[in-house]
Structure 1
C-alpha cells in the first residue's frame, strides 16, 4: 500500500527520520568525546564532568527517541501521541534521577563543565534537527 508523495510504503518515512535522528546522536556523542579529550589537557575533573554532562543529555534523549520513533503497524495518531507524552515523561524522570545521582555520588565535580556540556549537547540537537527538517527552513 502506498501513501502520499513518492509512493513511500507505510512507515518508510518514519524509518528514514529515525535513521537521521540517530545520526545526530552519533555526531553529538563524537563531539562530546572530542570535547572531553581536549578537556583532559585542562584537568581530569573537568573532563569527566563534561563527559557526565554529555551522558546525562544523551541517554535520556536517546531513550525518548527510540521509544517515540518506534513504528508499529496499525498505530493510530492518538496512540503515537500518547507514546510521545509517556516517553517525554520518562525522559524527564531519567534526567532528574541522573542529575541527582551524579551530584550525590561524584565528588569532586565541576558543575560548569557538567552543565556547559549538557547545554552544548542540547544546542547541537536543535541545530541538527533544524538541518534535518530542510522543508521547514524553506517556508
Structure 2
C-alpha cells in the first residue's frame, strides 16, 4: 500500500521556486534585450524559445513536488521519471506548435533563449542554497 501525502506548502514556498523564478526573469530579460537590439520578430521568437523551456519545467515541478513523505519515496521516484518523459514530450509538442503555427521566426533567437533558460538549471544548487540559508 502506497501512502503519499499532498505537500501542504504553497507553490511559492517550494525549494525549487527560486529556480523557476530565475528562469522566468532570464527569459524575459533575454527576450526584451533581443527585441530591443534585433527587432520585434527576433524578440517574440526569443520569448517563445524561453517559454518552450519554462512551461514544461512548471509542469514537471507541479507533478513531482506535490507529494511528500519518506513512505512514498519509491512512488515519488517513479513519478519523477514519468513526469520527465511527459516534460520532454510537452517540449517537443511546443517546438512543433511554434514552428508550424507561428511564422516568421528567428531560429537563432528562439534556440538561444531556449538554451539560456535551460542553463539556469545549472545554477540550481546555488539558488536553492541561498533559499535554504534564508530559512535557517
Same-fold status (TM-score > 0.5)? yes
1:71 correspondence with 2:67: yes
1:31 pairs, out of 22, 26, 32, with 26
Q: Is the 8 A contact 1:28 1:124 kept in 2?
A: yes
TM-score by length of 1: 0.77
1:125–1:26 Cα change, 3 Å: same
Deviations 1:29-85 (CA, angstroms, capped at 9, x unpaired) = 112112212222220011000000110000001100111111255752111111111
Distance, in Å, in 1 between the alignment partners of 2:39 and 2:89 is 31
Partner Cα distance (1:74, 1:31) in 2: 34
Distance 2:94 2:122 in 1: 22
**Contact conserved, 2:45 with 2:105, CA < 8 A, in 1?**
yes
Say which SS state the counterpart of residue 20 (structure 1) adopts. coil
Larger CA deviation: 42-51 vs 18-27: 18-27
Contact 1:36–1:47, Cα closer than 8 Å, also in 2 = yes
Contact 1:64 1:88 in 2 (8 A): yes
Q: CA RMSD in A?
A: 2.5
**Distance (whole Å) between structure 1 residues aligned to residue 10 and residue 39 of structure 2:** 41
Aligned in 2, Cα 1:20/1:67: closer, same or farther, shift over 3 Å? same
Q: What does residue 45 of structure 1 align with?
A: 41
- Give structure 2 stretches of 5+ with no counterpart: 1-6, 130-136
Q: 1:90 aligns with which of 80, 86, 89?
A: 86
What is the number of equivalent residue pairs in this alignment?
122
Task: Please give the TM-score of this superposition, normalised by the length of structure 2.
Answer: 0.78
CA contact (8 A) 1:20 1:132 kept: no
- Aligned partners of 1:72 and 1:131: how far apart in 2? 23
**Which protein has the larger Cα radius of gyration, Structure 1 or Structure 2?**
1
Runs of 4+ in 1 over 3 A off after TM superposition: 72-75
